[in-house]
Structure 1
Amino acid sequence: MSTVHQDSPELDRVWEQFCDTLKRAGNQILRSEAPDNLFDRAEGYRYLSRLTRIALEMQVESGDADFPTFMVPSHETAKIGADNPDNFYQVALISGRNEYRVTGSLNDAKNINFSTKRGGYDTNGRLVASGLIEARNMTIESDGSFELILSKEERHGNWLKLDEDTSQLLIRQYLPRRRQQQPAQIRIERIGATEARPKPLNPAIFAEKLLRAGTFVENTSRMFCDWAESYLSRPNTLPAADQKLCQAVGGDPNIFYYHAYWELKDGEALVVKVPRIPKCDYWNFVIQNYWLESLDFRYFDICINKETAVYDENGGVTLVLANENPGAANWLETAGHRRGTMCFRWIGANEHVQPETEVVALQTLKLGN
């Protein structure tokens, strides 16, 4: 990585390197197995632009471990790797050499998952959990407020362990009725800070952060394009994912994942049937585009979960993925897409019931209703 001193031309070269990295990331959209129609390719380039926004916000604007702030790495218009629309995500870049205080108030969050991570998509492409605590296992005040200490040495009360190489704090807030619910308001501060604010812009540090942002875009796009490619051999099925791989790149250890590729012709629908729902904290099913971004959940119903599903008489659930409403209770809209990826999650399930899938004629479903 370049180091910038008092040499403006060297900083110019850093900018060129950043731009070259983004250009190289574009090769992921042009991979031979990736869809080459105009619609999916446009989404692919939009995906890269979104990753760039995320990377700059995370690495450049919020990337000071001595003065950490939370940013939202996946949201309505910027998404990473099979994001969950029922989650409100927050990330703060931190360091194991410091101690931190996290405070907040639960509001409508059903549960909040706090996890410390090692690594990063900007470095080794991994994001391994080093500590985990959930709000339901914390002491919460009667008004919903809480305090959580992050440190190497154990503290009394709510505490989350830091390791020497801890690099970030990732928060998942579960909001199963996200359109009506208010996420928790959460803040972070470094304990023992001797200065109230960071120093003015340091060109050398800025250059390092900019290069990390570019690497983040390239590594992230490559990794999840690799995932999409790995699903192509079994279209319209929902096999269990490689759980160790999911955990190695930031997945929640409480989640059991299924990832897959779907593709439908005109007049077809994909029926996903779960014969029974075991005891669990939560489950959901999400439709994504080829680039593993959830479809636009602001305006389309592309996600169904434990609370929003209509159940079968026997306690199971039948989900229907189609571009046109077949009159089914649990219809998920493909929002103009012919192909994409999908994800089913169990959280805290006492068993993992395999979802069954079948491609059927859309007209058959309509006649059945």
Structure 2
Amino acid sequence: MSPTKQTSVQAWEAFCDQLKLAGAVLARESTPDDELTQAEGLRKLVRTIRMGFEASLEYGNTDFPEVYQVLTPTTLGEGETADAHYHQAMIDGSKTYRLHGQRGEAPYMELTVYAGKIGLDSSSAQIATVTEVDLQVEADGSYELMLSPDPQPGNWLRTTPETSVLFIRQYAHDWSKTRDASFNIEQVGATGDRPLLTVEEVSRALSRTATYVGRSAGTWAAIVDQRRAAAPNRFFVFELEKKDDDEEAPEMPSGHRFSSGYFRLAQDEALLVSFKPAEVPYWGLDTTNYWFEALSYAERRSHHNNRTVRYEPDGSVRIVIAPKDPGVTNWIDTRGHLEGPMLFRWSRTNLALPEIQAEVVKLADLAKN
């Protein structure tokens, strides 16, 4: 066997060995053992392979970066909302990049650079961010944003040598009526084409991918476990929570505050969620499975926001979380799940989060009312 073949085989075998270890997340005592959760866990591990490999290799060359849609209906697992589109580009913070394109119609946008990415790296820290408030857009809808360690005229995001990823979030109340932004990125001064692939490059990417699969699945499951261990069927404001010193947890995106909870129901039960929100630019309530995957990212059946919900005459909101259609308005379909996280986003406002009440009721009683 040639040295090149031997290196390739060794890289693949090491990758498979690492992946086997990642499967331990399925067997943890805290991981639910029902059929649906275990099936989704297996799927999550495979999906995470794709996510890690794209970030490490397919879009991982920082001299020739590309902005790509990182979260899709089949690549989820970080507590996403169905109201957002997520893109990212892998960069080298010591270099200078030009991001440009059309702004699109999403009312809210965040362009953030991080030193490290949760799961892919051992730590992650937000470096700088620009939102729709500060982004200067031309009359024709185009924009240009520079990313560099040194100040630049116009739109600029400060980077550091440790900066490794540009993450872009766009939020809209109804994406069927909203035009997405476009994103093009290039390193200033880079010439030629991306070099041909090498075994060494792929080998490094495989190792990073395998690490990402194990680390990412464990990190997000641990976050869900924290909520699952608390009292179910109630909401807690994030600001009141205290993280453990050694806990790897994501920083909150700019311009949002959160309440979260964990629903737990029987087949004949529903969770009646009620609150009276102030008039704010955006709020949304999402549900996920144990693996922190949005229950209906594409179909949007398992969440509501301040434009899709039906209000009561007094301005209050009643949302019903249930595994079956109760025949009432504002139903959130749990897609067969009897338990899972709930995430409430309260965005672009300094007003206090509303007090959210939650009550377990019988489905039959809802139908009577």
TM class, shorter-chain normalised?
A: over 0.9
Q: CA deviation at 1:124?
A: 4.1
Deviations 1:170-205 (A, max 9, x none): 000112202332311111111111x22111112222
Matched, 1:255 2:256: yes
Say if 1:247 and 1:253, in contact at 8 Å, map to a contact too.
no
Query: Residue 65 of structure 2 aligns to a residue in which SS?
Result: coil
Alignment-mate amino acid for residue 99 of structure 1: T
Counterparts of residues 133-282 of structure 1 (less than 5 Å): 133-193=130-190, 195-233=191-229, 234-241=231-238, 249-274=250-275, 276-282=276-282
Alignment-mate amino acid for residue 182 of structure 1: R
Say if 1:82 and 1:288, in contact at 8 Å, map to a contact too.
yes
Query: Residue 176 of structure 2 aligns to a residue in which SS?
Result: coil
Separation in 1 of the partners of 2:316 and 2:248? 28
Deviations 1:118-149 (A, max 9, x none): 12234544321101001232211122111111
Alignment-mate amino acid for residue 357 of structure 1: A
Separation in 2 of the partners of 1:119 and 1:105? 27
Alignment-mate amino acid for residue 230 of structure 1: Q
Question: Partner of 2:32 in structure 1?
Answer: 35
Deviations 1:20-58 (A, max 9, x none): 222211111221122212222111111111111111111
Separation in 2 of the partners of 1:330 and 1:123? 37
Question: Partner of 1:310 in structure 2?
Answer: 310
Q: More deviation in 106-115 or 282-291? A: 106-115
TM norm structure 1:
0.92
Q: 1:161 to 1:279 in 2, by over 3 A?
A: farther
Q: 1:174 to 1:45 in 2, by over 3 A?
A: same
Separation in 2 of the partners of 1:19 and 1:356? 47
Q: 1:244 to 1:85 in 2, by over 3 A?
A: farther
Aligned residues: 362
Question: Partner of 1:3 in structure 2?
Answer: none
Separation in 2 of the partners of 1:258 and 1:9? 52
Q: More deviation in 296-305 or 62-71? A: 296-305
Separation in 2 of the partners of 1:153 and 1:280? 36
Say if 1:126 and 1:250, in contact at 8 Å, map to a contact too.
no
Separation in 2 of the partners of 1:270 and 1:32? 26
Question: Partner of 1:87 in structure 2?
Answer: 84
Query: Residue 68 of structure 2 aligns to a residue in which SS?
Result: coil
Question: Partner of 2:295 in structure 1?
Answer: 295
Alignment-mate amino acid for residue 14 of structure 1: A
Query: Residue 307 of structure 1 aligns to a residue in which SS?
Result: coil
Q: CA deviation at 1:308?
A: 1.2
Say if 1:271 and 1:319, in contact at 8 Å, map to a contact too.
yes
Query: Residue 48 of structure 2 aligns to a residue in which SS?
Result: helix
Question: Partner of 1:364 in structure 2?
Answer: 365
Say if 2:120 and 2:216, in contact at 8 Å, map to a contact too.
no
Alignment-mate amino acid for residue 130 of structure 1: I
Q: Which runs of 5+ in 2 are unaligned?
A: none
The percentage of aligned residue pairs carrying the same residue is 30
TM norm structure 2:
0.92
Deviations 1:303-346 (A, max 9, x none): 11122111222222211101222232211111122222221111
Separation in 2 of the partners of 1:204 and 1:10? 8
Say if 2:285 and 2:303, in contact at 8 Å, map to a contact too.
yes
Question: Partner of 1:320 in structure 2?
Answer: 320
Say if 2:120 and 2:209, in contact at 8 Å, map to a contact too.
no
Separation in 2 of the partners of 1:54 and 1:336? 26
Deviations 1:97-129 (A, max 9, x none): 211111111222112210000122345443211
Q: CA deviation at 1:248?
A: 5.0
Say if 2:93 and 2:161, in contact at 8 Å, map to a contact too.
yes
Alignment-mate amino acid for residue 268 of structure 1: E
Q: CA deviation at 1:7?
A: 5.0
Separation in 2 of the partners of 1:138 and 1:182? 17
| Match 1:109 to one of 98, 106, 109 | 106
The CA RMSD measured in Å over matched residues stands at 2.1
Q: Which runs of 5+ in 1 are unaligned?
A: 1-5
Separation in 2 of the partners of 1:31 and 1:241? 26
Q: CA deviation at 1:235?
A: 1.4
Separation in 2 of the partners of 1:244 and 1:59? 32
Deviations 1:201-244 (A, max 9, x none): 12222211211111111111001111121122321112123678
Separation in 1 of the partners of 2:242 and 2:155? 28
Separation in 2 of the partners of 1:95 and 1:280? 37
Question: Partner of 2:332 in structure 1?
Answer: 332
Separation in 2 of the partners of 1:55 and 1:203? 18
Separation in 2 of the partners of 1:144 and 1:256? 29
Separation in 1 of the partners of 2:270 and 2:211? 39
Matched, 1:17 2:18: no
Say if 2:82 and 2:298, in contact at 8 Å, map to a contact too.
no
Separation in 2 of the partners of 1:341 and 1:176? 21
